[in-house]
Structure 1
Amino acid sequence: MKYLFTLLAVGILFTGCKNEGNGNQTEDAMEENPYGEGKNVLEADSLDIDIQPISHATAVVNWGDATFYIDPVGGAEAFEGKEKPDFILITDIDGDHMNVETLQALDLENVHIIVPQAVHDELPGEMDDIVRALENGATTRVLDFFIESIPMYNLPEDDPDSRHPKGRGNGYVVEKNGQRLYIAGDTENIPEMRELENIEIALIPMNMPYTMTVEDAAEGVLAFAPEKVIPYHYRGEDGYADVEKFKELVNEGNKDIEVELLEWYPDREE
């Protein structure tokens, strides 16, 4: 399913966004359609995407010769021996996704940080030059990666007491050479997730009462049918979600979806 979107032009580093929030923006960083108008063509030699769990919602992704961090928390020591990131994605303001002390402890020279506006509002001003805020549905570019912000929220959408109201946080689809990685963030089985297409790898949460049940997570995954799904963010108020059951439900519904179980909780006691 590996498709290559024809790009409009090779832009400057970290170009292009549409409908972004109030983060660091310049006129020559704007691009009307960063995906281009061309037809999809088959990409035969796509690169492996290596996802290294750190803990819960935090991961290091090596993709070709680029590295990026997802929701870095745990201090600099959590990333010892890891490649320096080219960019960082932060999904929400909760402490298991955003930690200012961890960011300040990392080497952020020439590192771009993509965040929701709510996260941007809580980051120190000295980070403004490297932070870009995206609204839900916006797209930006870093290096050869296109990053689209996907809504993440709890249901029902109009719940005034929602832990994760729509519009506050961002899931992300990261794309390069037609390969698409979906990072769901703290979400339930929402329409925007079910309607995704051509996802190679999906990181899907399942912990109550913060995101969704194992059954809802499996139902959502079966709706958009990624090539591979990796459960993450599965520690809840009552312990750990049954990821083996999740795998069973997904494969009962679609045997072609690979379910990969990684170790997100190295200190977990069985």
Structure 2
Amino acid sequence: MKIILPLAISCLLFTACKEEKKGSVTEKAVATEVTETRTESSFEINPVSHASAVIYWNDNTIYIDPVGGAEAYKVYKPADLILITDIHGDHLDVATLEGLDTSKAKIIAPAAVAEKLPEEFTSQVDVLANGESKEHYGITVEAIPMYNLREEAKDFHVKGRGNGYVLNYQGERVYFSGDTEDISEMRSLKNIDKAFVCMNLPYTMTVEKAADAVVDFKPAKVYPYHYRGRPDVSDVSRFKELVNKGDSGIEVIQLDWYPAEPY
């Protein structure tokens, strides 16, 4: 009885708390924060896989590079805003888009992506070139260049084809790098609150280059993402070590971007 009674009380308390928050963002954040979700005030980031994520930002739902099949997004609210960075299959998947509820969504993409989208999406798409911006739902989206620097990698991501993005909302700035190396446009970013930075070979950049760039532009928080290459997975612990050696004030946050099968 001494064991069963406290256990029963704990279960009742847990159930009551869960029912009180049922259907809310808070319930999901509490349930999955360790491996999938980190919630800070009104901003919640939900890694889906590799480069794909769902953001809840106050009343807005934002999908970043939704790929991998519509089934993976059934647990999330329909998108208000969809951002697509590039034409490769880990960023653009037409079949996934067609399977999602995009009835209220605006899609922001570079021209190379827009050209590959079916006609049914034409009225929803805003084409942004590097350096351009667009506002939807109070969120201003800036298109940031993303490209390779190494000679042997230049054909992977040519300058001007794809977009990284900076999202500006209620005084906060969030950066998604897309597929890039440590380009000058990244290093010169200012006032970034949260940065999602790629690091995988041979397609983007090394952990060392990513860390060095982050120390240059000094986001308040940085999240390594897009870190599985072929064949190796980048050492995100090493990334954290290098960033904090260069600037101990930058918080490095590691989320689980590969919760199921390896990318």
Normalising by structure 2, report the TM-score: 0.82
Alignment partner, residue 67 of structure 1: 61
Alignment partner, residue 135 of structure 1: 129
Q: Where does structure 1 differ by over 4 angstroms across 4 or more consecutive aligned residues?
A: 158-161
- The CA distance in 2 between the partners of 1:152 and 1:77, in whole Å, is 29
For the pair 1:93 / 2:74, whether they are aligned, the reply is no
The Cα shift of 1:180 comes to 0.3
What percent of counterpart residues are identical? 52
Q: Tell me which amino acid in the other structure corresponds to 2:92.
A: M
Alignment partner, residue 191 of structure 2: 198
Alignment partner, residue 231 of structure 2: 238
Q: Which stretch has the larger CA shift, 225-234 or 75-84? A: 75-84
For the pair 1:114 / 2:108, whether they are aligned, the reply is yes
Are 2:153 and 2:203, in contact at CA under 8 Å, matched by a contact in 1?
A: no
Match of 2:214 among 216, 221, 231: 221
The residue matched to 1:68 in structure 2 has which SS?
Answer: strand
Alignment partner, residue 167 of structure 1: 160
Alignment partner, residue 146 of structure 2: 152
Structure with larger Rg: 2
For the pair 1:123 / 2:94, whether they are aligned, the reply is no
In structure 2, the CA distance between the partners of 1:97 and 1:160, relative to structure 1 (3 Å rule), is: closer
- The CA distance in 2 between the partners of 1:178 and 1:117, in whole Å, is 28
Match of 1:260 among 225, 243, 253: 253
The Cα shift of 1:265 comes to 0.4
For the pair 1:207 / 2:230, whether they are aligned, the reply is no
- The CA distance in 1 between the partners of 2:253 and 2:164, in whole Å, is 20
Aligned residues: 223
- The CA distance in 2 between the partners of 1:172 and 1:47, in whole Å, is 21
Structure 2: 5+ residue stretches without partners: 1-39
Larger fraction in strand? 1
Are 2:145 and 2:185, in contact at CA under 8 Å, matched by a contact in 1?
A: yes
Structure 1: 5+ residue stretches without partners: 1-45
Larger fraction in helix? 2
CA RMSD of aligned residues (A): 1.5
Normalising by structure 1, report the TM-score: 0.80
- The CA distance in 2 between the partners of 1:253 and 1:47, in whole Å, is 28
Which protein, 1 or 2, shows the higher relative CO under an 8 Å CA cutoff with sep ≥ 6?
1
